């Protein structure tokens, strides 16, 4: 066989491999129930990735603060076709909150890219006797045990930040974890709980409809989606907490597969039309390299894990 024929054969083989990668189904595993903010954003992302021929589907595996989804992906074949929507909870906080994890956050995953971020908020029903975080704190101190607070999971920042805030301000609420944002919001609308630590994405339709109220935004600036909602800082509290979302794959996934996925995702989230759609639901797209994500996870872990440990929360079983 001539040298030219060998080169042609290798080129055809590489093309076939790339085509096979594109045609095989890639599952993006969301650790929350369908309908929540993260799920909405990932479905928009999947739509755009499908336009590139990646054949992406969303698979929801809610429960246990993301442990079920993380364990599922950690055990998956490391071929780049099973991807976890990861966050502070799955990559760091769970290791502090739980007695034993079925996966190792540091060893069982490889980073792909960040995909988005947004500030945490507290929302409440409009029939509550308080209309802001400042009024809620005063009410909670005068009425111990009267406020039930939900979150999408114990290890998620939308529980950790409010818990730290409560400790700093000298009051407490009764925390009720749910397996995602959507069921928690339904419980809130049904008056089963009083307030909910969340992001604006899932809550926005209900806020616009006048069914829920944003009591406070954990950021240095107000959200453009709800410009009337004050920040914690405006109410006298030095509290900022940013929710972030990323993509991780099983450890051992080939570098080439990671690079293909990273390139495709970053191309989508840089598109102006996609950015507009994302911001309409309260998400701010943010990408980067796998190395960028590694550094970011370390920085967030260094920030939040000492706070979590200082709370002396009882270890949970999964």
More confident of the two residues 307 and 161:
161
Is 157 inside any structural domain? yes
CATH code of 108's domain: 3.40.190.150
Kindly state whether residues 31 and 83 are assigned to the same domain.
yes
Sheet holding 195-198, edge to edge: 174-177, 148-151, 195-198, 121-125, 212-217
Is 317 inside any structural domain? no
Kindly state whether residues 107 and 11 are assigned to the same domain.
yes
Is 281 inside any structural domain? yes
Q: Is the pLDDT of residue 200 over 60?
A: yes
Kindly state whether residues 113 and 125 are assigned to the same domain.
no
Q: Is the pLDDT of residue 210 over 90?
A: yes
Round to whole Å and give the CA distance between 242 and 259.
26
Write the pLDDT tens digit of every residue in 140-155.
Answer: 999 999 999 999 888 7
Among 189, 214, 235, which residue terminates a domain?
235
**Taking the alpha carbons of 37, 40, 46, 51 in that order, is the dihedral positive or negative?**
negative
Is 252 inside any structural domain? yes
Q: Is the pLDDT of residue 13 over 50?
A: no
Q: Which residues contact 195 (CB under 8 A, 6 or more apart)?
A: 122, 123, 124, 128, 136, 147, 148, 149, 150, 173, 188, 215
Is 181 inside any structural domain? yes
Round to whole Å and give the CA distance between 292 and 76.
24
Encoded tokens for 103:
């996966």
3 state SS of 265: helix
Q: Is the pTM of this model over 0.75?
A: yes
Is 316 inside any structural domain? no
Write the pLDDT tens digit of every residue in 62-90.
Answer: 988 899 999 999 999 999 999 999 999 99
Among 205, 235, 265, which residue terminates a domain?
235
Write the pLDDT tens digit of every residue in 252-270.
Answer: 999 999 999 999 999 999 9
Write the pLDDT tens digit of every residue in 157-188.
Answer: 899 899 999 999 999 999 999 988 889 999 99
Is 139 inside any structural domain? yes
Alpha carbon separation from 70 to 37, 52, 113, 188, 271 (Å, rounded):
19, 26, 16, 27, 29
Our count of domains for the chain comes to 2
Kindly state whether residues 223 and 254 are assigned to the same domain.
no
Write the pLDDT tens digit of every residue in 227-246.
Answer: 999 999 999 999 999 999 99
Taking a C-beta distance cutoff of 8 angstroms, is the pair 180, 152 a contact?
yes
Write the pLDDT tens digit of every residue in 16-52.
Answer: 445 554 579 999 999 998 988 899 999 999 999 999 9
**Taking the alpha carbons of 259, 260, 263, 264 in that order, is the dihedral positive or negative?**
negative
- Rounded to 5 degrees, what are φ and ψ at 316? -105, 155
Is 164 inside any structural domain? yes
The residue range of the domain holding 85 is: 3-117+244-310
Kindly state whether residues 266 and 205 are assigned to the same domain.
no
Kindly state whether residues 134 and 202 are assigned to the same domain.
yes
Of 112, 28, 105, nearest to 292 (Cα)? Answer: 112
Kindly state whether residues 165 and 69 are assigned to the same domain.
no
CATH code of 219's domain: 3.40.190.10
Write the pLDDT tens digit of every residue in 91-133.
Answer: 999 999 898 999 999 999 999 999 999 999 999 999 999 999 9
For residue 44, the model assigns a pLDDT of 97
């Amino acid at each position: 066989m001539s040298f030219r024929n060998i080169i042609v054969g290798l080129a055809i083989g590489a093309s076939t491999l790339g085509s096979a990668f594109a045609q095989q189904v890639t599952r993006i595993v969301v650790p929350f129930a369908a309908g929540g903010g993260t799920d909405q954003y990932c479905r928009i992302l999947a739509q755009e990735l499908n336009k590139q021929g990646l054949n992406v589907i969303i698979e929801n595996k809610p429960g246990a603060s993301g442990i079920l989804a993380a364990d599922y992906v950690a055990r998956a074949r490391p071929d780049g076709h099973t991807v976890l929507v990861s966050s502070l909870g799955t990559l760091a906080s769970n290791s502090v909150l739980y007695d034993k994890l079925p996966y190792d956050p540091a060893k069982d995953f490889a980073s792909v890219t960040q995909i988005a971020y947004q500030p945490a908020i507290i929302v409440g029903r409009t029939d509550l006797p308080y209309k802001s975080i400042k009024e809620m704190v005063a009410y909670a101190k005068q009425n111990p045990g009267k406020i039930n607070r939900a979150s999408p999971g114990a290890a998620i920042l939308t529980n950790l930040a409010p818990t730290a805030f409560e400790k700093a301000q000298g009051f407490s609420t009764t925390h009720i974890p749910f397996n995602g944002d959507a069921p928690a919001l339904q419980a809130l609308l049904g008056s089963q709980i009083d307030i909910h630590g969340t992001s604006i994405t899932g809550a926005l339709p209900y806020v616009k409809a006048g069914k829920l109220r944003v009591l406070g935004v954990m950021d240095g600036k107000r959200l453009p989606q709800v410009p009337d909602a004050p920040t914690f800082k405006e109410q006298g509290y030095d509290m900022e907490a940013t929710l972030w979302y990323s993509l991780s794959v099983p450890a051992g996934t080939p570098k080439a597969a990671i690079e293909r996925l990273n390139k495709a995702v970053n191309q989508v989230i840089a598109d102006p039309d996609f950015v507009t759609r994302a911001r309409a639901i309260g998400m701010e797209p943010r990408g980067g390299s796998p190395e960028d994500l590694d550094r970011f996870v370390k920085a967030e872990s260094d920030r939040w894990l000492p706070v979590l440990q200082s709370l002396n929360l009882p270890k949970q079983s999964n």
